Structure 1
Amino acid sequence: MSTWIWVAVLLAAVFAAEWGSDHLAEPLRKLRKQWGLSAAAGGSLIGIATASPEVGVNVTSAVRGVTDIGLGAMLGSTAIGIPALVSVGYLATRRRDIPDDPGHQQHLREHLLRVDPKAATVQALPYLGILALAALLILPAPWQGLQPIDGGVLLAAYVAYAAQAFFRGREKPEQVEWSRRGIWMAVAGVGVLALGAYFTVISTQNLVQAFGISPIIGGLFITAPVAALPEIFASWKVSRSGQITPALTNIIGDHAMTMTVGFLPLALVGTQIGNFRLVWVSFVFVALMPALYAAFVRWGGSESGFRRWQVLSLVGVYATYVAVVVVWVLELV
């Protein structure tokens, strides 16, 4: 089958998986309001839906015996996610009329993307703790790789992360309406999500064979950037509506689930690390992104959020990551 056909299959599969997660996310958004969770804390709940495509990819990778694709997709998506969504959120809010933001004109003059400071303490800093735990379980030589016990520990870590976010971000509960159609659409979304994840892995397998590259590189630089496209489109739309904090905190909840629950399928079948340098370099940059996110939001200025230079800094860090992988890890230049 032509390489371009597999590219089309990959795009269709990713958007199918995202369609499924969107229809799963709507009931979770209602639960956030019904339970009285703040926008920052609700990112953990919505992250269950937004991270489900990555989890589905890892389940399929484990079943098909190509765990490197899942590992590469996880690391790649968590490296690109924060700079991509912050950049899109910044560009989307450079218009003159953003609803529900009385200080927007001042934010435009100051080149500021305003974000609730709770996003740093409720989301980003606990996520850094998750990354430190994952690195401790996966990277040291005596127990390098993923074993079933690692999956159990990371699952427990996600439960603790979600619990602290829920309890620290409580607000007044709201009344919400539930419809039978919405529930059935969520069920259908789960099915479409699984189908999309399956064909995401199948198409990546064929593309890495066609290009003659390793599965983990395919996951890092083919699957992960393509998988980020639906979230980028959604972030643009949500940011344009004035819901900036939800648009930029969901990604942390997404990554927290990806780096814990997402590891579970790979851990259950056992995953060895073939290119250790690539994995530890990826971990360094994956951790650097939320560290900068928290620093910029919480301590970056008199008002919490991202200035233009900070947005460009995040993009520059990702570009540095790609350059380090290409030049030093893979030695392609």
Structure 2
Amino acid sequence: MVYLLLIVGLILLVAGGEGFVRGSVAIAEKLGMSSLLIGLTLVGFGTSLPELVTSVQAALDGAPGIAVGNVVGSNIANILLILGITALIYPIAVDKAVLRRDGAVLVIASLAALAIVLIGALGRIAGLVLVALLIAYVIYSYFADRKSQASAGLAAEIEATGGKQPVPVSILFVIGGLALTVLGARLLVSSAVEIATALGVSETIIGLTVVAVGTSLPELVTSVIAAIRRHTDLALGNIIGSHNFNIFSILGITALIQPIPVPGEIIQLDIWVMLGATALLLGFSYTQREIVRWEGGVLLALYAGYIGWLALGAIG
């Protein structure tokens, strides 16, 4: 029964996040917001909504391993698993404009996460700093994109996301999406804690694996569809943006709502895996104009090795 609740929680998270994005984008279009601003704010926050609500719920429930592990594990999965699968399906085009804009922010966000982990606690001061960095990132991205062609395909993507639905229907999508996401997060966190207890493994490992991959499902589905349709030029920017949003918004807002300690397991291993994956992503991106299939295979193999290592540790 608890495994069924876990699956139901994941489904509700994905459905709730999708509904929130569709409704909020449609309302923003009716209010005259530009496609660029919608993409940088509502779509960015909306795709990170499952991770955000899950981490906040876990922090409130006294499960810091799930709260922090969800963010670190999601970023690892985004780079090694999702980009790996996407590149294997079809090579990922590297947009140098997006890389120049977001690459430096990617490094800053990763180092900020490292600093918080080494301090050993996610406190409100750190939360304020992260949220301030998030606001600066959104403003910087907006003005940078206005001067470049990096967002050329954004209008079509947002139109497909928001649709032309009436405002009352859009409001129902927003409210229903939030409700489903909150309910899904409660089911996911409670069932994940129960499973960890029953299996005798730490909440952190569950957060790094099952919860992290589950809350990254929207990015996975989007990237795979983009690869099948040969539109991988957006995949890299989406993954980098998700990485930055996860650190700035999820860790920041979670810290403001409920300060939590950082589990020792993340300090010892997982933050370094995230940094290594980030360095590998930047290395593959800067060496040529695309992330080719063999590089995707390397990313996927490294993720399999990482999960295998966690499994061995849990068994031990």
- TM-score when normalising by structure 2: 0.83
Among 282, 300, 319, which residue is 2:287 paired with? 300
Among 269, 292, 295, which residue is 1:281 paired with? 269
Cα distance in 2 for residues equivalent to 1:165 and 1:12: 36
Aligned 8 A contact 1:43 1:252 in 2: no
Among 205, 222, 225, which residue is 1:217 paired with? 205
Cα distance in 1 for residues equivalent to 2:215 and 2:17: 12
Q: Which residue of 2 aligns with 1:35?
A: 34
Q: Which residue of 1 aligns with 2:258?
A: 269
- Structure 2 counterpart of 1:255, which letter? H
Aligned residues: 300
Cα distance in 2 for residues equivalent to 1:312 and 1:29: 35
Cα distance in 2 for residues equivalent to 1:35 and 1:291: 33
Identity of aligned residues (%): 22
Aligned 8 A contact 1:53 1:193 in 2: yes
Cα distance in 2 for residues equivalent to 1:239 and 1:27: 26
Aligned 8 A contact 1:124 1:291 in 2: no
After superposition, the Cα gap between the structure-2 partners of 1:318 and 1:43, relative to the gap in structure 1 and judged at 3 Å, is: farther
- In the TM superposition, 1:196-215 aligns within 5 A as 196-215=184-203
- Structure 2 counterpart of 1:158, which letter? L
Kindly indicate whether residue 65 of structure 2 is the aligned counterpart of residue 76 of structure 1: no
Among 169, 174, 190, which residue is 1:186 paired with? 174
After superposition, the Cα gap between the structure-2 partners of 1:45 and 1:269, relative to the gap in structure 1 and judged at 3 Å, is: closer
Kindly indicate whether residue 315 of structure 2 is the aligned counterpart of residue 318 of structure 1: no
Q: Which residue of 2 aligns with 1:9?
A: 5
Among 36, 43, 46, which residue is 2:43 paired with? 46
After superposition, the Cα gap between the structure-2 partners of 1:138 and 1:90, relative to the gap in structure 1 and judged at 3 Å, is: closer
| Cα displacement (A) at 1:84 | 1.9
Q: Which residue of 2 aligns with 1:107?
A: none
Cα distance in 2 for residues equivalent to 1:280 and 1:229: 27
Aligned 8 A contact 2:40 2:138 in 1: no
Cα distance in 2 for residues equivalent to 1:273 and 1:174: 39
Q: Which residue of 2 aligns with 1:163?
A: 139
After superposition, the Cα gap between the structure-2 partners of 1:187 and 1:292, relative to the gap in structure 1 and judged at 3 Å, is: same
Q: 1:176-232 CA distances to partner (integer Å, 9 max, x unpaired)?
A: 656322343133211111111111101101110110111111211222233334432
Kindly indicate whether residue 13 of structure 2 is the aligned counterpart of residue 25 of structure 1: no
| Cα displacement (A) at 1:91 | 4.0
Structure 2 SS opposite 1:260: helix
Cα distance in 1 for residues equivalent to 2:55 and 2:306: 23
- Structure 2 counterpart of 1:179, which letter? P
Structure 2 SS opposite 1:261: helix
Among 127, 133, 136, which residue is 2:112 paired with? 133
Q: Which residue of 2 aligns with 1:240?
A: 228
- In the TM superposition, 1:139-158 aligns within 5 A as 139-140=118-119, 144-158=120-134
Segments of 5+ residues of structure 2 without an aligned counterpart are: none
Q: Which residue of 1 aligns with 2:101?
A: 122
Segments of 5+ residues of structure 1 without an aligned counterpart are: 94-111
Cα distance in 1 for residues equivalent to 2:72 and 2:143: 29
Aligned 8 A contact 2:56 2:257 in 1: no
Aligned 8 A contact 2:55 2:250 in 1: yes
Structure 1 SS opposite 2:291: strand
| Cα displacement (A) at 1:7 | 1.9
Root mean square deviation of aligned Cα: 3.0
Structure 2 SS opposite 1:213: coil
| Cα displacement (A) at 1:156 | 0.7
Q: Which moved more, 1:264-273 or 1:170-179?
A: 170-179
Between structure 1 and structure 2, the one with the greater Rg is: 1
- Structure 1 counterpart of 2:34, which letter? W
| Cα displacement (A) at 1:291 | 2.6
Q: Where is the helix percentage greater, Structure 1 or Structure 2?
A: 2
Cα distance in 2 for residues equivalent to 1:139 and 1:214: 20
Cα distance in 2 for residues equivalent to 1:270 and 1:194: 20
Q: Which residue of 2 aligns with 1:101?
A: none
| Cα displacement (A) at 1:257 | 1.8
- Structure 2 counterpart of 1:19, which letter? A
- Structure 2 counterpart of 1:35, which letter? S
Aligned 8 A contact 1:76 1:225 in 2: yes
Q: 1:124-156 CA distances to partner (integer Å, 9 max, x unpaired)?
A: 43122012122223314xxx3111111111111
Cα distance in 1 for residues equivalent to 2:267 and 2:310: 10
